[in-house]
Amino acid sequence: MKAAHSVSDLVASGLMTPEAGAAVAGVAERYAVALTPYLLDKLAGAPEGDPLYAQYVPSPEEAYTAPSERDDPIGDHAHSPVKGIVHRYPDRVLLKPLHACAVYCRFCFRREMVGPGGEALSPAELAAALDYVRAHPEVWEVVITGGDPFLLSPRRLAEIVGALAEIGHVGVVRLHTRVPVADPARVTPELVAALKADGLASWVAVHVNHATELTEEARAALARLADAGIPLLSQTVLLKGVNDDAAVLEALFRALVRNRVKPYYLHHPDLAPGTSHFRPSIAEGQALVKGLRGRVSGLCQPTYVLDIPGGHGKAPAAAAWIAEDGTVEDFQGVRHRYAP
């Protein structure tokens, strides 16, 4: 089975009827489409309401751009001092060596920047990006993102990680990826070995939105990373119609922890164009997160965050538990007075 990179591929695979394909032709011309053979197999026969289907298969609703939506919703461009670097926080930078992904999520906040054949940094551009990190001793953590860095060959990944390990003030490299749940066979022993270098702590943040993504193959890929001593985090986007339900989130976060993945961030969806149908309200998100407090342990609790539009960074978005009158609400909704 071949990967799908167009509406015609999706129709040929049976995931869309010709009529449904015609309805999203314009959407697919603007926003990249890609599903791996692995996902095509998992989605065979899936209804449109399937949580995987909604994440990867284009919808006519993407043709609508809400007035508040923007091409660069989190302000990457405004904080990019050199190509491939985003320096938004003092002690860490994003390093984006490529702008291609194995799959293209329908809610992606970089959907105007990524796509098939997504531009990769040239050797000179990568060298300049690494030089920027060397010249800024305040940078302690480098987040390799893009695009998906797990699309790089093990050789190229090892070169980048090795170069970062030689920069004395860099202590942590964090790689953000969708590959373990979108194309788990790509997580080979060679790729895992490429993520590690002496003197550098390597972490992997895996993007997972629903427990059904944690198939046997995906769990095995995560185990290859965890067994190699690489700490694993998760990032989840709160998506209307996919996981905006306390029981669904509970199942996801329990499954992640059972597979040695610490839930890290639950993102409120960014203001990317054509994604308004995925966005619940902040109040709805706060209620869901509040409902999780008594359902799952602290190990299973990510931080609910909003990336402030324009590049001003992430802010915790959860509702307050301590009121101005000094009372504290417990997980059952009962308020108690606290007198220090």
Show which residues are catalytic.
88-89, 92, 101, 105, 108, 110, 270, 307, 314
Q: For helices 154-165 and 123-134, give the axis angle rounded to 10 degrees.
A: 30
Q: Which of 119, 145, 108 is nearest to 33 (CA)?
A: 108
> What is the Cα–Cα distance from 128 to 126, expressed in whole angstroms?
5
Residues in the chain: 340
| Phi-psi group of 311: left, alpha or beta (phi > 0 → left; psi -120 to 50 → alpha; rest → beta) | left
Q: Which helix (H) or strand (E) holds 265?
A: strand 261-267
Query: Is 199:53 a contact under the CB 8 Å cutoff?
Result: no
Please tell me the distance from the alpha carbon of residue 246 to that of residue 252, in angstroms, as a whole number. 10
Q: Within a 10 A sphere around the Cβ of 35, how many other Cβ atoms?
A: 25
Distance CA 174, CA 210 (A): 22
